[in-house]
């Protein structure tokens, strides 16, 4: 190091780092996702506790909520036999932060004597997990719970949040479940019809709906092009998610 130069520490793991003290206050490994609340008060580490290459329903996740200022950590339960369809995000509802994602749930039945698996069926749902510690609740919603006019073959596809703390929900038509591929996990179909909903979770109301349109999925990206009408007439909308 020469005189006047600056020392930079290289962070190679998922950590919460105190810049003033130049030390880490929390470390977490094997994370699939890391999310932050908009005020950066909390960080959520989604770690993979158990991974199965052959059966996604055997994957086990743990959610660690870290208070960034002091590194205090607590664990939030994550439902078993549940896999992510889309990357998660965090939405603020009142004073409560909710961890949210589109997930596919595997419901299994077992033989009462042999305990062997007899059958399974799948559900695609919007998961909302309270991470503020105020209510300790988990909410599951199907597309039909949010949009009553959605047909039976409609499923959630992706979720984002906007600057107004509203959920931007993409849904697809003609989709029964997400197919598992060994090298990719749960994959989306290549050609799909989809729509978009802006949803107020706090007041349980739809603020905007862009109806079903046809789209093509390429290279893990979804490009949505449709039109909606407002007071100034129709406007083109392009929505993209990874």
Evaluated on CA atoms 12, 36, 166, 83, the torsion sign reads: positive
Q: Following DSSP, what letter does each residue of the chain receive, concatenated? A: --TT----PPP-SEEEEETTTTEEEEEE-SEEEEEE-TTSSEEEEEEEEE--SS-GGG-EEEEEEEETTT--EEEE---SSEEESS--EEEEETTEEEEEEEEEEEEEEE-TTT--EEEEEEEEEEEEEE-SSSS--EEEE-HHHH-TT--TTEEEEEEEE-TTS-EEEEEEES---PEEETTTEEE--SEEEEEEEEEETTTTEEEEEEEEEEEEEETTEEEEEEEEEETTEEEEEEEEE-
223 pLDDT more than 80: no
- pLDDT band, residue 227 (cuts 50/70/90): very low
Check residue 9 and give its pLDDT. Answer: 55
Q: How many residues does the chain have?
A: 242
The dihedrals phi and psi of 131, each to the nearest 5 degrees, come to -110, 5
15 pLDDT more than 60: yes
Check residue 226 and give its pLDDT. Answer: 37
- Span between the terminal Cα atoms of the chain, in Å: 41
CB atoms within 10 A of CB 215: 20
53 pLDDT more than 80: yes
Q: Enumerate the β-bridge partners of residue 73.
A: 66
Check residue 4 and give its pLDDT. Answer: 56
Q: pTM here?
A: 0.79
Contact 96, 130 (CB under 8 A): yes
30 pLDDT more than 80: no
Check residue 121 and give its pLDDT. Answer: 93
pLDDT tens digits, 144-191: 999 999 999 999 999 999 988 899 999 998 888 999 888 888 888 777
Q: Enumerate the β-bridge partners of residue 126.
A: 102, 141
225 pLDDT more than 50: no
| Cα 36 from chain centre | 13
Residue 39: Cβ-neighbour burial (10 angstroms; 0-12, 13-18, 19+): exposed
232 pLDDT more than 70: no
The dihedrals phi and psi of 145, each to the nearest 5 degrees, come to -75, -30
**Both tokens of residue 21?**
């003290």
Check residue 102 and give its pLDDT. Answer: 96
pLDDT tens digits, 63-101: 989 887 777 888 888 999 999 999 999 999 888 899 999
């Amino acid at each position: 190091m020469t005189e006047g130069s600056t020392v930079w520490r290289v962070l190679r793991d998922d950590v919460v780092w105190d810049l003033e003290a130049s030390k880490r206050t929390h470390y977490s490994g094997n994370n699939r996702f890391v999310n932050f609340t908009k005020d950066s008060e909390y960080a959520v580490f989604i770690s993979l506790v158990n991974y199965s290459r052959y059966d996604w329903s055997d994957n086990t996740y743990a959610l660690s909520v870290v208070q960034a200022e002091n590194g205090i950590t607590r664990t939030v339960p994550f439902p078993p036999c549940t896999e992510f369809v889309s990357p998660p995000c965090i939405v603020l509802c009142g004073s409560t932060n909710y961890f949210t994602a589109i997930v596919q749930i595997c419901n299994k039945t077992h033989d009462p004597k042999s305990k062997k698996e007899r059958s399974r069926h799948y559900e695609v749902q919007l998961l909302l997990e309270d991470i503020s510690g105020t209510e300790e609740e988990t909410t599951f919603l199907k597309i039909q719970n949010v949009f009553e006019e959605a047909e039976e073959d409609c499923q959630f596809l992706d979720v984002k949040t906007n600057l107004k703390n509203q959920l931007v929900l993409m849904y697809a038509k003609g989709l029964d479940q997400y197919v598992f591929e060994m090298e990719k996990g749960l994959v989306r179909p290549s050609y799909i019809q989809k729509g978009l909903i802006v949803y107020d979770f706090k007041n349980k109301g739809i603020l905007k709906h862009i109806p079903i349109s046809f789209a093509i999925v390429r290279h893990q990206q979804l490009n949505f092009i449709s039109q909606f009408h407002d007071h100034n007439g129709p406007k083109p909308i392009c929505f993209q998610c990874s």
